[in-house]
């Protein structure tokens, strides 16, 4: 340790990592966005990075979690939770106890509900600010982080946020490094039992693979390459449509029905 | 005078050599343990030298005769000199024999000198340039000092005042020769190759490569399995001392002849790899120091012409490749050097010292991939795909047979047994290779072969993962493929992918569960088609009046020794075959092996472009290949302006096009009613 970094207390970062699911084969893996979060954390100078996962521990989830260890970690904290449990209280308690400066997580999980709500609920519970869609953490000085938020079409917004903060990353964050097999299998799980709250609602849900939705074809009438490029790069425009207020349910249903017919969704 | 000096010189040289030997052996012993049969190994040295090593050396006739004269002369002369001059036993024939031996050696050294007059670029200079002089000093010196012993010169020759000077000069010359040839052997001079080389032959890590009285050696080209059992053990080779001791010994045996450099496709393409320099770097690392004393061709560099020597340094226990965190990013070898290799084995095939470059390179890659997670280029993505989808392209593993929707290929899962298990390979996802596969299916059907495919149960063979150093993914794929294969009965496996062929044939054996073993032959489709032709099961209509050349895929040729079958098939097709200058065991790689297209290390030119240049030299209209990688690499080559495109054809496509589809001459008498029913069903 160099003397100056010993003097400035290191930035404590916790990355929430979940178990991913390969889109084609459904195999468990490190979740892509969470892995990007880990990569982001690794790129921070002087940061003490801790990996935290709340969930079940079995063979396939362990293999997937080792994917994060292979990014250069010796241990991963594991809050053991039974299948179908709501991990929010356990995570909130663990974060409250360790009080890191920065919590990084992916935008949404690749399995389970995948609603993308967890970071928001967590921020609400802890009373911390939340910044979504992060592209980079530019600097952290005197308890204030300068963040670069990714907006659509490559735009970026610079934000200053007082720590502690929860940030989420999506595909705009740098791609995760390769997970190396050796460190991955040597890494240890630091398992603790957290409070368990059973998610009754989830238990009642029926989950089935989603069917791919057909994509709306963009019809471009362009004579030149320049027009085609402009059309491709143009913002998706709202336009059209109508706002119905104060209508009866039947009228509303009829309007929707007509639209679906126009769009050829119903024939 | 000389009677006193010579024994002193000889025994002093021997003593120094013994001390040097102990020091050298200690250097090798820094490596990991690797048990060898010591006595049996030593006993095998003469045969391994005279038969196996000479088999390689003899490809260059002049050099091999030179070596026989020089080395044979030296061994005899040294042995006799110990008796004649060391022990003073010059009686009778011994002195004459010594004269003959030293004369032979002198003749040999004249040839060595001639070769050193204008040495080709592949030879190292530096101390090697003085070697012919040292050889001459030894042989001439011994010759002259032996003359009085046999009485050719008067005994008074070395008496009297003026002869003092002569004696001293002679003693000096002999001392020079002894220094270079005897203790230089163990203290690191050019003659080190003799000492290390002999022991390397004795304790080679792949003893099965050598012939025995019982028969030929085998190629032993499968990579050695990495033990993944111990989950705390560091994986692969990080420092020179992580090699096994006999690998280190092997590196030390290098004579810097540069034959490997001359055939290396990556070196020729200007990528930063020179197998000879790599081996020398390992020697530098083993002893500790910098590469400043290296006097051969350096690693090429696409930007700077050559990478200067002297910037890299290593120690036995220091990292070979600088970890990402080091400041100047330099250690013994740059990572790019290791990733430039296509694992084509041309270097191993040419090396007279039987050094195993590919093993060493893959060992170091294993560390980079498994411990550092530093597979360059698209490597990491390919490995992730292999883990998640069992194919390098990340395609849906449920779509392996989409290309054959109309072919109704019999599935092993349905038929459970077949004469041939057709291993399709990952080419199923590649539109170009699908054409080859269709052709192969057509040929098999024409020959009435009972075959079946695994379909979606097939996975990548693991070849790329393994060459990229990801032994874990390879072993996982191998084990799962083996379990799938074990469910079905078949007589043999046939594949049109030489990489799958090699892995299934030579590398899966180590991964069978206890008590099981692979009990089926694996054939490349060219071999199998040739068998069909020889058995008269295929009717061909020769008449493709094409002028073709044939490219030997590395994994079929050098890895598995199959040079004949594809040529026999071409002959049966009646096409005119013109050989490229580099064909057969000297075939030049297409650039597609070893994950090289994935890691994509830049060079001055591309390997497939060079190979297509070889093809164009033959003025063939078509180049016939037997590998999906080669096909892809060659089809990616843009012909030079004004040149015509050379068609790239897989051998299966050639055969499919030549199938005789005219109805069999006299139709076998059949039941007329059956023929009719068939027709009715058609409508
Ligand atoms: S490695 Fe073999 S072929 Fe290459 S220079 Fe050394 S001895 Fe010659
Ligand atoms: S295997 Fe081929 S590419 Fe690799 S070092 Fe040897 S000759 Fe060069």
Q: Which among A25, A177, A180 has CB closest to B370?
A: A180
d(CA B435, CA B632): 12
Quick one: which atom of ligand 1 is closest to the CA of B350?
Answer: 3
pLDDT of residue B145: 87
pLDDT in tens, B211-265: 988 888 888 999 999 999 888 888 999 999 999 999 999 999 999 999 999 999 9
pLDDT of residue B161: 58
CA distance A76 to chain B (A): 17
Residue-range domain boundaries for chain A: 3-204
Partners of residue A179 in chain B, C-beta under 8 Å:
373
* The residue to which tokens 């390979």 are assigned: B425
pLDDT of residue B245: 96
> A181: nearest CA in chain B?
B370
Q: Do A181 and B232 touch (CB under 8 A)?
A: no
pLDDT tier at B673 (50, 70, 90 boundaries)? very low
Interface test with B, best of A25, A64, A180 (most B CBs within 10 A): A180
The number of beta carbons lying within 10 Å of the beta carbon of residue A260 is 12
pLDDT of residue B187: 87
**C-beta of residue B382 within 8 angstroms of C-beta of residue B392:** yes
The number of beta carbons lying within 10 Å of the beta carbon of residue A258 is 11
Mean pLDDT value of segment B307-330: 86
- Classify B555 as helix, strand or coil: coil
Q: Do B374 and A179 touch (CB under 8 A)?
A: no
Pick from B60, B72, B70: which is nearest to B131 by CA?
Answer: B70
The average confidence (pLDDT) of chain B is 90
Pocket of ligand 2 (CB under 6 A): B 263-266, 273, 275, 341-347, 357-358, 589
Q: Do A24 and B375 touch (CB under 8 A)?
A: no
pLDDT tier at B188 (50, 70, 90 boundaries)? confident
pLDDT of residue B664: 62
Partners of residue B372 in chain A, C-beta under 8 Å:
180
Name the residue of B281, B343, B363 to mutate for ligand 2: max ligand atoms within 8 A of Cβ.
Answer: B343
φ, ψ of residue A219 in degrees (nearest 5): -95, 120
CATH classification of A3-204 is 3.30.70.141, yes or no?
Answer: no
Pick from B290, B443, B469, B295: which is nearest to B373 by CA?
Answer: B469
The predicted model scores a pTM of: 0.90
A21/B contact by beta carbon, under 8 A:
no
Quick one: which atom of ligand 1 is closest to the CA of B296?
Answer: 5
User: For B25-62, b where at least 16 C-beta lie within 10 A, e where not — what string?
Assistant: eebbebbeeeebeeeebeebbeebbeebbeebbeeeee
Q: How far away, in angstroms, is B359 Cα from ligand 2 center?
A: 11
Q: With a cut of 70, which residues of chain A have pLDDT below it?
A: 1-9, 216-218, 220, 235-240
Q: Do A181 and B235 touch (CB under 8 A)?
A: yes
pLDDT in tens, B598-615: 999 999 999 999 999 999
Is 50 exceeded by the pLDDT of residue B5? yes
Q: How far away, in angstroms, is B588 Cα from ligand 2 center?
A: 10
Torsion of CA A248, A253, A254, A259, to 10 degrees: 130
Strand partners, A86: A197
Helix or strand run (H / E) with residue B548 = strand B547-550
pLDDT of residue B168: 86
Is 80 exceeded by the pLDDT of residue B92? no
Percent of chain B at pLDDT exceeding 70: 94
pLDDT tier at B45 (50, 70, 90 boundaries)? very high
Is 60 exceeded by the pLDDT of residue B273? yes
- Classify B275 as helix, strand or coil: helix
Partners of residue A24 in chain B, C-beta under 8 Å:
388-389, 394-397
Q: Which among B371, B387, B395 has CB closest to A180?
A: B371
DSSP letter string over B325-380?
TSSS--SSS-HHHHHT-----HHHHH-TT---HHHHHHHHHHIIIIII---TTTHH
Mean pLDDT value of segment B115-134: 92
Give the long-range contacts of residues B343-346, CB within 8 A, separation 24 or more.
Answer: B343/B467, B343/B554, B343/B593, B343/B594, B344/B265, B344/B554, B344/B558, B344/B588, B344/B589, B344/B593, B344/B594, B345/B221, B345/B554, B345/B558, B345/B559, B346/B260, B346/B263, B346/B264, B346/B265, B346/B554, B346/B558, B346/B586, B346/B588, B346/B589
Residue B360 in contact with ligand 1 by CB distance below 6 A: no
Residue B199 in contact with ligand 1 by CB distance below 6 A: no
Pick from B353, B403, B555, B590: which is nearest to B466 by CA?
Answer: B555
Ligand number nearest CA of B601 is 2
Residue B348 in contact with ligand 1 by CB distance below 6 A: no
Partners of residue B371 in chain A, C-beta under 8 Å:
180-183
pLDDT of residue B292: 92
pLDDT of residue A264: 78
A42/B contact by beta carbon, under 8 A:
no
Quick one: which atom of ligand 2 is closest to the CA of B275?
Answer: 5
Token digits of residue B503: 């892995």
Partners of residue B383 in chain A, C-beta under 8 Å:
178
- Classify B461 as helix, strand or coil: coil
Helices B93-117 and B131-150 pack at an angle, to 10 degrees, of: 160
pLDDT in tens, A152-182: 888 899 999 998 999 999 898 999 999 999 9
Mean pLDDT value of segment B478-494: 95
Ligand number nearest CA of B277 is 1
d(CA A55, CA A33): 17
pLDDT of residue A8: 46
Q: Residue A164: is the preceding peptide bond cis (ω within 30°)?
A: yes
**C-beta of residue B340 within 8 angstroms of C-beta of residue B596:** yes
B373/A contact by beta carbon, under 8 A:
yes
Pick from B177, B165, B178: which is nearest to B2 by CA?
Answer: B165
User: For B635-660, b where at least 16 C-beta lie within 10 A, e where not — what string?
Assistant: ebbeeeeeeeebebbbbbbbbbbbbe
Q: Do B383 and A186 touch (CB under 8 A)?
A: no
B60/A contact by beta carbon, under 8 A:
no
Residue B260 in contact with ligand 1 by CB distance below 6 A: yes
Pick from B97, B310, B77, B69: which is nearest to B181 by CA?
Answer: B77
Token digits of residue B433: 């290779």
Q: Which among A24, A27, A179 has CB closest to B373?
A: A179
Q: How are beta strands A144-150 and A156-162 bridged, if at all?
A: antiparallel
pLDDT of residue A213: 75
Answer left, alpha or beta for residue A143, where phi above 0 means left and psi between -120 and 50 means alpha.
left
CA distance A27 to chain B (A): 6
pLDDT in tens, B530-542: 999 999 999 888 7
Interface test with A, best of B238, B373, B375 (most A CBs within 10 A): B373
**C-beta of residue A34 within 8 angstroms of C-beta of residue A68:** yes
Q: Which among B234, B387, B396 has CB closest to A182?
A: B234
Q: How far away, in angstroms, is B276 Cα from ligand 1 center?
A: 6
Name the residue of B347, B363, B591, B593 to mutate for ligand 2: max ligand atoms within 8 A of Cβ.
Answer: B347
Q: How far away, in angstroms, is B267 Cα from ligand 1 center?
A: 14
Is 80 exceeded by the pLDDT of residue B679? no
Give the ipTM of the model, two decimals please.
Answer: 0.86
Quick one: which atom of ligand 2 is closest to the CA of B340?
Answer: 3
More confident: A248 or B642: A248
Token digits of residue A67: 């994917």
Protein residue with its CA nearest to atom 7 in ligand 1: B254
pLDDT tier at B306 (50, 70, 90 boundaries)? confident
Q: Which among B231, B379, B395 has CB closest to A185?
A: B231
pLDDT of residue B454: 96
Strands in A144-150's sheet, in edge-to-edge order, are A156-162, A144-150, A130-141, A165-169, A102-106, A11-16, A47-55, A75-80, A188-193
């Amino acid at each position: 340790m160099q003397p100056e970094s010993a003097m400035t207390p290191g930035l404590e970062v916790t990355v929430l990592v979940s178990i991913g699911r390969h889109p084609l084969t459904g195999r468990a893996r490190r979740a892509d966005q969470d892995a990007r979060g880990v990569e982001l954390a690794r790129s921070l100078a002087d940061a003490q990075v801790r990996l935290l996962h709340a969930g079940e521990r079995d063979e396939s989830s362990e293999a997937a979690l080792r994917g994060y260890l292979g990014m250069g970690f010796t241990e991963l904290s594991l809050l053991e939770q039974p299948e179908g449990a709501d991990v929010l209280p356990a995570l909130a308690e663990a974060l409250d106890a360790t009080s890191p400066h920065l919590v990084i997580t992916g935008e949404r999980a690749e399995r389970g509900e995948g609603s993308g709500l967890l970071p928001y609920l967590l921020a609400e519970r802890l009373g911390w600010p939340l910044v979504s869609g992060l592209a980079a953490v530019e600097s952290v000085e005197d308890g204030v982080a300068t963040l670069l938020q990714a907006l659509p079409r490559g735009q970026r917004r610079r934000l200053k946020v007082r720590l502690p903060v929860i940030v989420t990353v999506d595909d705009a964050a740098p791609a995760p490094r390769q997970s190396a097999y050796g460190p991955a299998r040597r890494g240890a799980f630091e398992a603790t039992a957290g409070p368990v709250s059973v998610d009754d609602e989830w238990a009642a849900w029926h989950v089935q693979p989603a069917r791919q939705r057909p994509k709306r074809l963009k019809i471009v009438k362009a004579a030149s390459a320049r027009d085609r490029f402009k059309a491709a790069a143009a913002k998706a425009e709202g336009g059209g449509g109508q706002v119905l207020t104060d209508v009866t349910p039947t009228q509303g249903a009829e309007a929707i029905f007509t639209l679906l017919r126009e769009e050829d969704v119903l024939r | 005078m000389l009677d006193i000096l010579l024994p002193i010189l000889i025994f002093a040289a021997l003593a120094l050599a013994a001390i040097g030997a102990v020091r050298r052996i200690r250097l090798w012993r820094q490596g990991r343990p690797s048990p060898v049969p010591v006595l049996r190994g030593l006993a095998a040295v003469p045969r391994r030298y005279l038969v196996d090593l000479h088999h390689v050396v003899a490809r260059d006739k002049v050099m091999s005769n030179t070596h026989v004269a020089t080395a044979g002369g030296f061994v005899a002369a040294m042995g006799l000199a110990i008796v004649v001059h060391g022990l003073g036993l010059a009686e009778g024939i011994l002195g004459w024999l010594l004269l003959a031996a030293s004369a032979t050696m002198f003749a040999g050294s004249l040839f060595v000198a001639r070769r050193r007059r204008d040495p080709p670029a592949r030879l190292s200079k530096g101390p090697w340039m003085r070697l012919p002089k040292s050889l001459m000093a030894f042989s001439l010196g011994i010759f002259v000092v032996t003359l009085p012993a046999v009485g050719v010169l008067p005994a008074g020759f070395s008496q009297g005042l003026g002869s003092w000077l002569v004696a001293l000069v002679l003693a000096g010359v002999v001392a020079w020769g002894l220094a270079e040839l005897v203790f230089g052997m163990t203290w690191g001079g050019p003659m080190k190759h003799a000492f290390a080389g002999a022991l390397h032959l004795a304790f080679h890590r792949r003893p099965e490569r050598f012939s025995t009285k019982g028969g030929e050696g085998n190629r032993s080209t499968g990579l050695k399995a990495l033990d993944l059992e111990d989950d705390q053990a560091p994986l692969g080779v990080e420092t020179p001392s992580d090699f096994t001791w006999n690998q280190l010994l092997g590196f030390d045996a290098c004579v810097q002849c540069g034959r490997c450099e001359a055939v290396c496709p990556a070196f020729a393409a200007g990528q930063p790899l020179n197998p000879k320099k790599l081996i020398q770097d390992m020697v530098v690392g083993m002893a500790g120091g910098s590469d400043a004393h290296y006097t051969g061709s350096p690693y090429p560099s696409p930007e700077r012409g050559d990478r200067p020597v002297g910037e890299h340094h290593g120690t036995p226990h220091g990292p070979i490749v600088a970890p990402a965190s080091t400041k100047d990013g330099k250690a013994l070898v740059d990572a790019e050097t290791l990733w430039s290799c296509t694992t084509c084995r041309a270097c191993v095939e040419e090396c007279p010292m039987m050094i195993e470059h590919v093993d060493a390179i893959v060992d170091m890659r294993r560390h980079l991939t498994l411990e550092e997670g530093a597979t360059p280029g698209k490597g990491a993505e390919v490995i992730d795909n292999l883990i998640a989808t069992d194919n390098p392209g990340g395609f849906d593993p449920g779509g392996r047979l989409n290309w054959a929707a109309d072919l109704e290929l019999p599935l092993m899962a349905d038929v459970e047994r077949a004469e041939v298990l057709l291993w399709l390979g990952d080419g199923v996802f590649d539109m170009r290779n699908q054409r080859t596969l269709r052709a192969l299916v057509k040929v098999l059907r024409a020959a009435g072969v009972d075959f079946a495919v695994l379909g979606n149960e097939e996975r990548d063979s693991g070849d790329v993962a393994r060459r990229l150093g990801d032994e874990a993914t390879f072993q996982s794929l191998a084990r799962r493929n083996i379990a799938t294969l074990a469910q079905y009965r078949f007589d043999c496996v046939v594949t049109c992918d030489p990489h799958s062929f090699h892995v299934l044939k030579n590398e899966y054996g180590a991964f069978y569960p206890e008590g099981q073993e692979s009990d089926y032959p694996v054939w490349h489709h060219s071999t199998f088609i040739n068998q069909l032709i020889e058995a008269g099961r295929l009717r061909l209509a020769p008449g493709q009046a094409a002028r073709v050349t044939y490219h030997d895929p590395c994994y079929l040729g050098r890895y598995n020794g199959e040079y004949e079958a594809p040529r026999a098939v071409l002959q049966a097709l009646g096409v005119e075959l013109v050989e490229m200058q580099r064909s057969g065991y000297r075939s030049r790689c297409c650039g597609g092996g070893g994950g090289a297209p994935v890691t994509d290390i830049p060079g001055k030119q591309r390997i497939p472009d060079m190979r297509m240049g070889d093809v164009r030299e033959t003025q063939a209209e078509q180049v016939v290949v037997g590998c999906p990688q080669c096909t892809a690499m060659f089809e990616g080559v843009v012909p030079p302006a004004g040149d015509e495109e050379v068609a790239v054809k897989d051998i299966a496509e050639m055969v499919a096009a030549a199938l005789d589809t005219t109805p069999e001459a006299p139709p076998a008498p059949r039941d007329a009613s059956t023929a009719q029913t068939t027709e009715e069903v058609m409508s």
